[in-house]
Amino acid sequence: MSNAPLMPKATAVWLVENTSLSFAQIADFCKLHELEVKAVADGEAAQGIRGLDPITSGQLTREEIERGQKNPDYRLSVAVSKVRLPPVKPRKGPRYTPVSRRQDRPNAILWLVRNHPELKDSQIMRLVGTTKTTIAAIRDRTHWNAQNLAPADPVTLGLCSQIDLDFEVAKAGKANPDAVLRKEEPEDTLLPAEVTTAEPGAEAELDVQSVFAKLNQLKREDQDEDDDEDRR
C-alpha cells in the first residue's frame, strides 16, 4: 500500500479535529508540510474540505492513533490492508475497442498501412483491435467501404496511445529496417513549370544560340587584341 493516505488534506482535517496528535505527526502521516497542518488548524487552509476518517477507510487503526497521542515522537504508519487482490494478468489478443469508436477503425488501419508499412498485421491488431481479414481488405482496397475511407491517426481517434504506437513502430523498425529506409527515401519532386510548359526543341535552340553568342564574343576579343598590337 502507498505510504501516503488517500485524500491527505481531508485526512489531516479529521486528525486535527478529532485527535491530539502533534502537527509534526499529522504532517508526517499525511505527507504534508507542518505549516500546512498548522494552517488547517487555524482555519486558514482546507476551508470547505470535509474531514475523512482514516479509521473507517482502513488507513489507520485506533491503536496506532493512541500510540501517537501518548508519544509525541512516534510516527504513524499506514495500516496494511488485509484484503489481497489477485494479480491482474495481461490481456492477450486484440485490444478492445468501444462500440462508439469501432466505425473509425478502418480509417485508422488505412493510416497505419500508409504511414507505417513496416508494421505487421499482428501489431496493427494490437493497436486498434481489428482482424487480419479487415487489414487485408484495406490493403487490397477490397473493403466494402474502401471508396469512403480517409486515413486518420489512431492516437487522435483515441484508439491507442502515442506510447503504444511509438513502441510498436520502434519494434517493427528493429525487425525490418529496410522498410523504414524505403519509407524515408525522398519522393520525386515535380519539375519546374518552365520545363513542363516549354515547347519541344526550345531548350536545344536556346543552347545553340548561347554557343554562337560565346563564339562571337571570343572572336571580338581576339580582333581587339590584334588591333592593339598593330597600334603599338
Residue 74: all three cell numbers together? 512516534
Given this model, what pLDDT does residue 59 score? 87
Instruction: Answer whether residue 96 shows pLDDT above 90.
Output: no
Contact predicate 60/79, CB 8 Å: yes
Instruction: Answer whether residue 159 shows pLDDT above 90.
Output: no
Given this model, what pLDDT does residue 182 score? 53
For the chain, give the mean pLDDT.
Answer: 78
Instruction: Answer whether residue 109 shows pLDDT above 90.
Output: yes
Q: Write the burial class of residue 147 (CB in 10 Å: 0-12 exposed, 13-18 middle, 19+ buried).
A: exposed
Cα dihedral 3, 7, 10, 12 in deg (nearest 10): 10
Instruction: Answer whether residue 15 shows pLDDT above 90.
Output: yes
Lowest mean pLDDT among 149-153, 172-176, 201-205: 201-205
Contact predicate 159/97, CB 8 Å: yes
Give residue 223's pLDDT band: very low, low, confident or very high (50, 70, 90): low
Q: Rounded CA gap, 44 and 37, in Å?
A: 10
Give residue 189's pLDDT band: very low, low, confident or very high (50, 70, 90): very low
Query: How far are the Cα atoms of 66, 176, 177, 182, 201 from residue 138, in angstroms, in the given order?
Result: 68, 22, 24, 21, 46
Q: Rounded CA gap, 71 and 135, in Å?
A: 68
Which one-letter amino acid corresponds to residue 213?
A
Q: Rounded CA gap, 75 and 25, in Å?
A: 6
* Mean per-residue pLDDT, 47-62: 86
Lowest mean pLDDT among 19-23, 171-175, 182-186, 210-214: 182-186
Residues 6+ apart with CB under 8 A from 225: none
What is the tens place of the pLDDT at every residue in 60-88? 899 999 999 999 899 998 887 666 667 75
Given this model, what pLDDT does residue 133 score? 92
Give residue 16's pLDDT band: very low, low, confident or very high (50, 70, 90): very high
The pTM of the full predicted model, rounded to 2 decimals, is 0.40
Q: Rounded CA gap, 145 and 147, in Å?
A: 6
